[in-house]
Amino acid sequence: DQSHLAYSVGITLDRFIKLKQSDFPFASGELSQLLRDIALAAKIVNRETNRAGLANIGGAFGQTNVQGEEQQKLDVIANIRFMRALSKGGEVCAIVSEEEDAVVDLQNNSGKYVVAIDPLDGSSNIDVNISIGTIFSIYRRKSPIGSPILLEDIMQPGSEQVAAGYVLYGSSTMLVYTTGFGVNGFTYENSLGEFFLSHPDIQAPKSGTIYSINEGLQLEWEKGIADFVQSCKEMKMQSRYIGSLVADFHRNLLKGGIYLYPSTLKNPSGKLRLMYEANALAFIIEQAGGKASEGKQRILDIQPKNLHQRTPLIIGSVELVEQVERMMNPME
């Protein structure tokens, strides 16, 4: 088994990034450094996540602990850690984060990259010890280096991503990323403090038997979605839904399946955010041979209009996503 071999040979994330640096058209090392900055913040968040129960940092934001220090929720801590890593690193000029209302302009005009990030997704799972994740997208700025950032640097469609990835804080912690040359996964080895290549060149199965959707919202779905889920049941597929996007996505990526967060009556654009949830996973699934759609359109082709805009997300094995698209658009 190839992945086991790579693991036992021990290719660390740092070494892998270095080996792959020549893949980049502008191989000056900044993107490599940026990926390493993200990996470092991920290690810190992993540590905080692991001791969340012990350190009593799973509690509500705003409370103070016995030392009188402000107690912070883990998603706030994660945001601070990633913000710090990205701003100290020097490669980034602006950040869009789920935890920040506005664009964070780092006032670093020499930074080449813009990062969109959900520092800790699946927040409802934090307090109950279920997998959570970090999701990130990296774009090259459009405006000239050395000048102040412009709106066009920020509002780029997902097709412009130069790299994207996620960290899954699960039964193991993993970092999975792409720079547009396939998808590779790394597993964190706690005692060594390193990510090791464990899942080289991940390929999404063309089809699968898993479907993941919040069925509690069934009465709010449009007909195509309801028809698809009914067909999953008729085929006796497996229903699996953690309610933690990274974890649901990761399982389906490896095993074959589909994740859906469709439009509902209450939320016509669904729940998930285009810029820091959907786009990164869409880039990854396409790089792995799968597909991501909002029903009609490719996720990566959506031109964002505002930072926190939502999009329906149908993502996973190519044959299953295409089946949903056909059921949602029966006249075409």
* Cα angle, residue 212 at apex, residues 121 and 202 outer, rounded to 5°: 75
Q: Whose Cβ is closer to ligand AHM: residue 23's or residue 215's?
A: 215
Q: What is the DSSP code string of 199-212?
A: E-S----SS-SEEE
Q: Which does 91 bind (CB under 5 to 8 A by kind): ligand AHM, Mg ion, none?
A: none
Residue 178 found at the interface with ligand AHM (CB under 6 A): no
Q: Which residue from 118, 153, 248, 325 is in contact with Mg ion, where contact means CB under 5 A?
A: 118
Q: Whose Cβ is closer to Mg ion: residue 35's or residue 126's?
A: 126
Residue 170 found at the interface with ligand AHM (CB under 6 A): no
175, 17 contact by CB (below 8 A)? no
Q: Whose Cβ is closer to Mg ion: residue 120's or residue 320's?
A: 120
Q: Kindly give the pairing relationship between strand 113-121 and strand 92-97.
A: parallel
CB of 250 to ligand AHM, least distance (A): 12
Residue written as tokens 């000239």? 144
Q: Which does 244 bind (CB under 5 to 8 A by kind): Mg ion, ligand AHM, none?
A: ligand AHM
Q: Whose Cβ is closer to ligand AHM: residue 134's or residue 178's?
A: 134
Q: Under 8 Å CB-to-CB from 128, ≥6 apart: which residues?
A: none
* d(C-alpha 83, C-alpha 98), whole Å: 12
| C-beta nearest to Mg ion: residue | 121
What tokens does 317 get? Answer: 């094995």
CB of 121 to Mg ion, least distance (A): 4
Cα-only R_g, the chain: 20
* d(C-alpha 141, C-alpha 94), whole Å: 9
CB of 315 to Mg ion, least distance (A): 15
Please tell me whether 294 is known to bind a ligand. no
* d(C-alpha 274, C-alpha 277), whole Å: 6
Per-residue binding string, ligand AHM, 214-253, x by CB under 6 A, is x----------------------------xxx--x-----
* d(C-alpha 285, C-alpha 273), whole Å: 17
116, 140 contact by CB (below 8 A)? no
What tokens does 114 get? Answer: 């813009």
Residue 121 found at the interface with Mg ion (CB under 5 A): yes
Query: Candidates 85-93, 111-119, 218-226, 289-297 — which segment interacts with Mg ion by CB under 5 A?
Result: 111-119
Tell me the sheet residues that pair with 163. 138
Per-residue binding string, ligand AHM, 83-122, x by CB under 6 A, is ---------------x----------------------xx
Q: Which does 271 bind (CB under 5 to 8 A by kind): ligand AHM, Mg ion, none?
A: ligand AHM
- Round to the nearest angstrom and report the end-to-end CA distance of the chain: 43
Which residues are known binding-site members for Mg(2+)?
98, 118, 120-121, 277
Residues engaged in binding Mg ion (CB under 5 A): 118, 121
- Interface with ligand AHM by CB under 6 A: which residues? 98, 121-123, 214, 243-245, 248, 271
